[in-house]
Structure 1
Amino acid sequence: MMRLSMTRKGPMPPTVLSAVTVIAVSFAGSAALAHDDHCAAIAASVAQAGFNDRVSVSCTEDHAVISSDTYPDHDLMTGIVGTNEQVPVPAKYAAPILLSPVLGQTPLTRDAALGVAVNGVPIYDYTGGGEMSVADLAHHQAQHDTVQTGQLDICGGHAGRGDDYHYHAKPTCMIETMANSGNDAIIGWAFDGFPIYGDVNPDGSEIAEGALDICNGQPDAVFGYRYHTSPDAPYVVQCLMGVVSDFDKLPRVRPLEHVSGDKLGPGRPPRGGVDDLVFSQKDDGQRSMDYTYQGEDYFIRYAPAETPGCYDFQTRTVTNGGEVKSGEFCR
């Protein structure tokens, strides 16, 4: 397990758990936090949520790096109908959050994560395959909406093309497990350095109609700006309003690589969806996703291989015509 660590200039607050409260009082009404205080706020958001036993935060001159294995400690894959026949596998991930955020003039979008939840799980926009462009932001992409097409589990996430778990909507199950769950709890951070909150303002008041901008954000007295989740599309951050000079270099989860046995191509959603999809896991690392399609049973199963970071897979998928395949894959 990873421990919470911070590298910063100057003394730390009396306790990291009280850092956000101290900062909010000291900087209320300011445009943004100073570098070190922003670092403390990001670290405190993870610690207060109760995730610092599985997520680490370290600060450099420019970023707070939130590191994890992207594999949350809550229910996974339950409720998915429009499965892409991919399965969640732990993946090392280091999310860089800017410590001196600045609002820009042009929204930024990409076919990968736009931020990270406080439990270390990446946060994407609501589309399933990065179909969003800047020109599309003002128009709901219903055909690519992961919520409306049944691609997400009851927790707001699913496994992507890299067999990596991530959120496309409000991370409901994570929020339920947060030690500090409440309206004022930060649930994640966008890569541009601004925080992400839930469906209402931090003081519990309703967000006025039309208050959220095209990226699902609005001004904030402490951080200068903040994002929100929402019951309706776009559900979560759909673009970044801050300046990110290295936007094209932001991290992506490394996909699994074939080592031996049968090769497995990327999964394709079976037409009409599947039934009774269940994801189960054992303490020894064995995991299985089982479902039916047109009366036939299918599955994707894996267990840790002898080589660290590698897994032995056995699958029977609609994508592969029902043929049973097995092989070893590594991150």
Structure 2
Amino acid sequence: MSRTMTLLACSIFAAIANPALAHNDHCDAVAASVADAGFADSVTVTCSDTQAILASDTYPDHDMMTGIVGSNEQVPVPAEYPAPVLLNPVYSGTPLTRDAALGVAVNGVPIYDYTGGGEMSEADLAHHQTRHDTLQTGQLDVCGGHAGRGDDYHYHVAPTCMIAQMANVGPEAIIGWAFDGFPIYGDTNPDGSTIEGGVLDVCNGQTDDIFGYRYHTSQEAPYIVQCLMGELPNFNDLPRVRPLSAASGGGAQQGRPPQGGVQNLVFTQSADGSRSMDYRYQDEDYYIRYSPSGSDNCYEYSTKTVTNDGDVMEGEFCR
């Protein structure tokens, strides 16, 4: 049994005799899931009375953007993100949805539901939203993520590249945490057995002997956490990534997916921090190039996008 699973098995018995001890065990388990996966150097875990905060720059050390066809002409920019995980999870059975992150991977990258069409209603949860499926519409890279409207990188399906990097890769490894405090596993049960059809509920979760409840990724929609089944007193206060804004004032222009998709999209980055996303659309070359400026969390941009009708635009944008 892994160190994380051992800690959480202890928390079951601790909760009966000493709620404070159970809180500490859950905090230790969250920290252990990050350390055991090998991401302690890029993700810090600190605990308060109610939450474990996983803080990172949301910028993973794996390939990004490769394979995207349905580009929204946004690029991944590091973003400070304190992800709160509840330390005393309570299953409610009432699904909660939001048009932002529902959890965080153990490498600090936020996890969204599979859609790109805004917040889902409870009725939306019951059927597959093909038109808004980020995987089927080619909006995701080969690692299961993309840059969203805030130029922030996040996952919408199983984070396959991150999982391959994990030092403790395997069915028993926790790959992330939902904000309601319950863990996220891969496509199988922690013992490696297959999850039979119909077992996972509308949020892509099921009961768990250690936690009481757990979430999973899956090959079929909804692919990953679709909603939250735990109580969350601070649900409306969950964090969002701050979008970029022009240094001279005003927000950065959000891209729109070019009709029919782009071709040959390649994202590159250099040791000096400069980055470039190059692609073709209707036999013409387009690009978004940016590099750190002299100000904190600011970048100098030079772009030629479909959104701006091919005009070359330059400027400084900051978090």
Q: TM-score, normalised by structure 2?
A: 0.95
Alpha-carbon shift at residue 210 of structure 1 (Å): 0.6
Greater shift, 258-267 or 199-208, is seen at 258-267
User: Offset at 1:18?
Assistant: 6.5
Once the two structures are superposed, what CA deviation does each residue of 1:286-330 show, in whole Å capped at 9, x if it has no partner? 000000000000000100000111000110000000000000011
1:28 CA displacement: 7.0
5 Å matches for 1:230-241?
230-241=218-229
Find the aligned partners of 1:294 and 1:150 in 2 and give their Cα distance: 17
Q: Structure 1 residue 212 and structure 2 residue 196: aligned? A: no
2:231 to 243, 246, 253: 243
Match in the other structure for 1:22: 6
Q: Quick one: distance in 2 between partners of 1:105 and 1:311?
A: 44
Is structure 2 residue 118 aligned with structure 1 residue 134? no
Task: Provide the secondary structure at the position in 1 that maps to 2:198.
Answer: coil
State the SS of the aligned residue for 2:55: strand
Checking the alignment, whether the CA contact within 8 Å between 1:262 and 1:326 is kept in structure 2 is no
Local SS of the residue matching 2:232: coil
Q: Which runs of 5+ in 1 are unaligned?
A: 1-16
Matched, 1:155 2:117: no
1:78-97 pair list within 5 angstroms: 78-97=66-85
Aligned counterpart, 1:291: 279
Amino acid in the other structure paired with 1:256: L
**Residue 225 and residue 77 in structure 1: after superposition, are their counterparts in 2 closer, same or farther (change >3 A)?**
same
Shift of 1:29: 8.8
Aligned with residue 103 of structure 2, among 107, 115, 132: 115
Asked if the contact 1:228/1:237 (under 8 Å) is kept, the reply is yes
SS of 2:294's equivalent in the other structure is coil
1:166-205, aligned counterparts within 5 Å?
Answer: 166-205=154-193
Distance (whole Å) between structure 2 residues aligned to residue 232 and residue 275 of structure 1: 26
CA deviations on 1:251-302 (whole Å, 9 max, x unpaired) are: 0000011114997410000000000000000011000000000000000010
Q: How far apart, in 1, do the equivalents of 2:93 and 2:189 lie?
A: 24
Q: Where in structure 2 are there 5+ consecutive unaligned residues?
A: none
- Give the alignment partner of residue 49 of structure 2, picking from 61, 76, 79: 61
2:308 and 2:185 map into 1 onto residues whose CA distance is 41
RMSD: 1.9
CA displacement 1:115-152 (0-9 Å, x = unmatched): 00000000000001324221200011000000000000
- CA drift of 1:19 comes to 3.9
Q: How many angstroms apart in 1 are the aligned matches of 2:194 and 2:15? A: 22
Aligned residue pairs, count:
315
Alpha carbons of structure 1 residues 21 and 112: separation in structure 2 relative to 1, 3 Å: closer
**Worse-matched range after superposition: 128-137 or 275-284:** 128-137
Residue deviations 1:88-115 (CA, integer Å, cap 9, x gap): 0000000010000001132000000000
**CA spacing shift, 1:228–1:29, aligned 2, 3 Å:** farther
User: Equivalent residue of 2:126, what SS?
Assistant: coil
| Deviation for aligned residue 1:78 | 0.3
Distance in 1 (alpha carbons) for counterparts of 2:266 and 2:258? 16
Q: Once the 2 structures are TM-superposed, how far is the Cα of residue 209 of structure 1 from its aligned partner?
A: 1.1
Question: What is the distance in 1 between the residues matched to 2:188 and 2:209?
Answer: 15
Go from structure 1 to structure 2 and tell me whether the alpha carbon gap of 1:72 and 1:235 turns closer, same or farther (over 3 Å shift): same
Equivalent position amino acid for 1:167 in 2: Y
Partners of 2:244 and 2:252 within 8 A in 1:
no
3-state SS, counterpart of residue 227 of structure 1: strand
Q: Secondary structure at the match of 1:23?
A: helix
Per-residue CA deviations over 1:162-192 (Å, capped at 9, x if unaligned) read: 0000000000000000000000000000000
* C-alpha distance in structure 2 between counterparts of 1:86 and 1:124, whole Å: 17
How far apart, in 2, do the equivalents of 1:151 and 1:211 lie?
28
Q: 1:48 aligns with which of 27, 32, 36?
A: 36
Residues 145 and 18 from structure 1, CA distance in 2 versus in 1: closer, same or farther, beyond 3 angstroms?
closer
Q: Per-residue deviation at 1:54?
A: 0.5
User: Equivalent residue for 2:305?
Assistant: 317
Question: CA 1:138–1:197 in structure 2 vs 1: closer, same or farther (change >3 Å)?
Answer: same
- Give 1:305's aligned residue: 293
Seen in structure 2, the aligned counterparts of structure 1 residues 25 and 249 have a Cα distance that, compared at 3 Å, is closer
| Contact kept? 1:196, 1:229, Cα under 8 Å | yes
Distance across 2 between alignment mates of 1:28 and 1:59: 19
